Amino acid sequence: MKIINEARLIFPSLSANESFARSAASCFAAQLDPTLEELGDIRTAVSEAVTNAIVHGYPDTLGDIVLRLRLLEGRVLEIQVKDKGVGIPDVEKARKPLFTTGGEERSGMGFTIMESFMDGIRVRSAPGKGTSVTLRKQVSPRMRG
Amino acid sequence: MAEERRAGPARMEVRLTGEIDHHRAGELMRELEDRLDLEAPREVELDLSGVGFMDSSGIALLIRVYRALALTGGTMLVTRVPKQPGKVLRAAGLSRLFPISYQ
Ligand SMILES: Nc1ncnc2c1ncn2[C@@H]1O[C@H](COP(=O)(O)OP(=O)(O)OP(=O)(O)O)[C@@H](O)[C@H]1O
Ligand SMILES: [Mg+2]
């Protein structure tokens, strides 16, 4: 799919950047004039992916997170969150509802939420190398009044 | 902040506000635990009307409050949930654990 617009942000894995990432993604998405619900879905999915990079990707260190925002042909928003952290040994297992390595502070629902709030998700990961999560959402056309 | 309103003996009402994410959840949980320890309520109402955003960190938080209460036979309910947090709660199927009412 043709790339119409793109922005890249790099920030350290500080929890204060969770809200920054949500806001940045929703500002970028604004050019598609999404509904409030669509914006909420985007903010939620970004929050899940970025929190995972911070909490699981870099559990004991600070590392860089790259947030890549793309507007694709056909009103498709593509969001990629990438870390160079510990990686996921078994992605299929990690994506199952309620699966967590995070103890009682986590619920194991992050991937499930990303899947249900977005139209597509692709997870690439290699232990010791890092993880990238690519999310896509088709934003509905708006009637102009 | 989570501000508290006393609602009679053994009942605690807490109104949560702001954005509940991982950055915020730890502090909020400590605050709620302190209050649960202090008051040992039989019923807790968590009013979410002031919550502008919530993600899975909020799910874990609600489940922890639910479990802490269950230990002493207490119950909880979640009320006045706005749209975005509501969608997250529904996706997690939390109404199987405690009653939830939406705005
Ligand atoms: N970026 C990442 N790096 C390493 N491991 C990850 C990453 N993202 C996810 N994981 C692994 O996948 C598991 C499932 O992730 P998911 O987001 O579904 O649940 P969670 O983060 O454990 O809990 P929740 O998102 O509900 O707070 C995590 O517990 C972790 O083991
Ligand atoms: Mg998660």
Ligand 1 proximity of A107 Cβ (cutoff 6 Å) = yes
- CATH code for the structural domain at B2-102: 3.30.750.24
Q: What residue spans define the domains of chain A?
A: 3-138
Within a 10 A sphere around the Cβ of B9, how many other Cβ atoms? 9
Within a 10 A sphere around the Cβ of A134, how many other Cβ atoms? 18
Q: What residue spans define the domains of chain B?
A: 2-102
Closest ligand relative to A65 C-alpha: 1
B84 in reach of chain A (CB within 8 A): yes
Alpha helices per DSSP H over chain B:
22-39, 56-71, 83-91
Q: Specify the pLDDT at position B9.
A: 59
Compute the distance between CA of residue A136 and CA of residue B5 in angstroms, rounded to an integer. Answer: 42
Give the residues of chain A that fall short of pLDDT 70.
144-145
Compute the distance between CA of residue B52 and CA of residue B16 in angstroms, rounded to an integer. Answer: 10
Put simply, the answer to whether A105 touches B25 (Cβ < 8 Å) is yes
Name the residue facing A47 among B21, B59, B91 (closest C-beta). Answer: B21
- The kind and range of the H/E element at A37 are helix A36-52
Compute the distance between CA of residue B28 and CA of residue B25 in angstroms, rounded to an integer. Answer: 5
Top CATH class, A3-138: alpha beta
Closest by CA position to B64, among listed A105, A98, A4, A118: A105
What residues of A are annotated to the active site?
48, 52, 106
CA of A37 to the centre of ligand 2 (A): 21
Nearest CA to ligand 1 atom 25: A110
**ipTM summary value:** 0.94
Encoded tokens for B74: 């207490």
> Model confidence over B29-88: pLDDT tens digits?
999 999 998 888 999 999 999 999 999 999 999 999 999 999 888 999 999 999 999 999
Residues of chain B positioned with their CB less than 8 A from the CB of A40: 53, 83-84, 87
